[in-house]
Amino acid sequence: MVSLAGSSKLALTLCVMAASAATLSSAQQQNDTGTIRAEVPASRVGVMISRTPPPATATSADAAGLFQQALASNGVDIAGTQPWHVELTYDEFDGDGDNVHSGTVEEFWVSDRKYRRVFKSDTLNQIEVATGSALYRTGDQRWPNPTEIQAIHEALNPFYTGDPGKPNTRLDTIDWTVGGTKLSCVIVRRTDMTISDNGLPKVCFLPGTRAVRYTHRGWNETTYNGLFQFQDRYVAHEIDVTHGGKPFLKIHLTRAELAHTDDSLFATPADSPGPLNGRVVIPSGLLMESYLVSTVRPDFPRGIRGKVNVRFVVGKDGQVIEAEALDGPEELRKPFLKAVKKYKFRPFLIIDQPVEVESTTSFQVIR
């Protein structure tokens, strides 16, 4: 995605097709675009957790079918769509409700191997170009942090965390009320423990539609408002994310259109230090949230308190190949290192090629 400030300088011919950027019909607008807001206090308040597994049941056929229909009907960033151009703005808020960061993102997309993305904000000024065979950056060379990445994903693909049908989970249907609006949802239940419904991941729609209006992932709740259709898919102009019941991100999609793109947009940038390859450094939040497959609970001695920060490297196959404790009590370092070395991740890909990833994580014992 590319920042709004750079768009006038790009050699690009845009072709906007009215049919693909058309808003919903009057009836659909009345049903689908009424404003929904996540409720306060946080839905995580009062979550009940039991280590006792629930009765053994399989994924509901209705839930699996509804999820697949929704997956095929929502978002921009999906394989098989025609080349597109989008612009968005975002504002990030802290726990006190203060607007701490703001930015713009713009993207010209042909495929996941060929795109041009520009960030322009108070924290990141970067142009990222995927040429089809390699990935280059100009400006800031760091990897976008989890919030910057989340702003893009929330706007373009409400299913960016992947298919919820993972090991130790099953899909079910449930009715859920958000801000006074009753929604039909697919909820992800655990098979290895029992968690109350307000603590479980879910994706929700207005009854009778497949347009995503609300998602719940961990502490984050996202509402989608101002729906329109783009390439026969539902997309939202306004996306609000709360974290722990407090405003966290407000995203405004200002443009979504089909585009005929000039190949010069995806040429190797002259001022880039070179393609991204070898070992890359990834923010911990991004790696843990989007790539972590399984963990091991550390077995640490009782009576020891403290915090241990661990630097580790994930190999191309997703296995941890290096780990070192950077600080913390000696009695905690060994068990935490032993646990991290057994973590498993999805391979991190750059233009379809796995690379080694360096990151950090921390453990804290306070009891």
Least confident of 97-101, 202-206, 297-301: 297-301
What's the mean pLDDT in 140-161? Answer: 91
Query: Rounded distance, CA 260 to CA 230, Å?
Result: 16
pLDDT at 78: 72
User: Within its chain, how far is the Cα of 196 from the centroid?
Assistant: 24
Helix (H, G, I), strand (E, B) or coil at 263: helix
**Domain termination residue (choose one: 202, 235, 266):** 266
pLDDT at 31: 44
Residue 12 resides in a domain? yes
Residue 198 resides in a domain? no
Residue 202 resides in a domain? no
Q: Assign residue 41 a region (left: φ > 0; alpha: ψ between -120 and 50; beta: otherwise).
A: beta
- pLDDT band, very low/low/confident/very high, at 25 (cuts 50, 70, 90): very low
Q: Are residues 350 and 286 in the same domain?
A: yes
Least confident of 157-171, 267-281, 313-327: 157-171
Q: Are residues 14 and 135 in the same domain?
A: yes
Residue 179 resides in a domain? no
What's the mean pLDDT in 331-356? Answer: 93
The answer to whether residues 63 and 173 touch, using CB atoms and an 8 Å cutoff, is yes
Tokens for 265, please give them. 């947009």
Q: Are residues 225 and 347 in the same domain?
A: no
Tell me: pLDDT of 49 over 90: no
**Domain termination residue (choose one: 266, 295, 329):** 266
Query: Rounded distance, CA 135 to CA 38, Å?
Result: 37
pLDDT at 162: 62
Tokens for 105, please give them. 């993102």
DSSP state, 67?
Answer: H
Q: How many CB atoms lie within 10 A of CB 353?
A: 13
Q: Are residues 109 and 223 in the same domain?
A: yes
Q: How long, in residues, is the chain?
A: 367
Tell me: pLDDT of 11 over 80: no
Q: What is the CATH number of the domain that holds 119?
A: 2.50.20
Query: Rounded distance, CA 361 to CA 309, Å?
Result: 6
Q: What is the CATH number of the domain that holds 330?
A: 3.30.2420.10
What's the mean pLDDT in 345-350? Answer: 93
Residue 103 belongs to domain spanning: 4-47+68-158+216-266
Q: Are residues 99 and 248 in the same domain?
A: yes
pLDDT at 289: 82
Residues near 269 by beta carbon (within 8 Å), at least 6 away in sequence: 127, 129, 136, 137, 138
Tokens for 208, please give them. 């009778």
**Top mean-pLDDT range of 62-71, 98-107, 109-118, 269-278:** 98-107
What's the mean pLDDT in 277-286? Answer: 90
Tell me: pLDDT of 249 over 70: yes
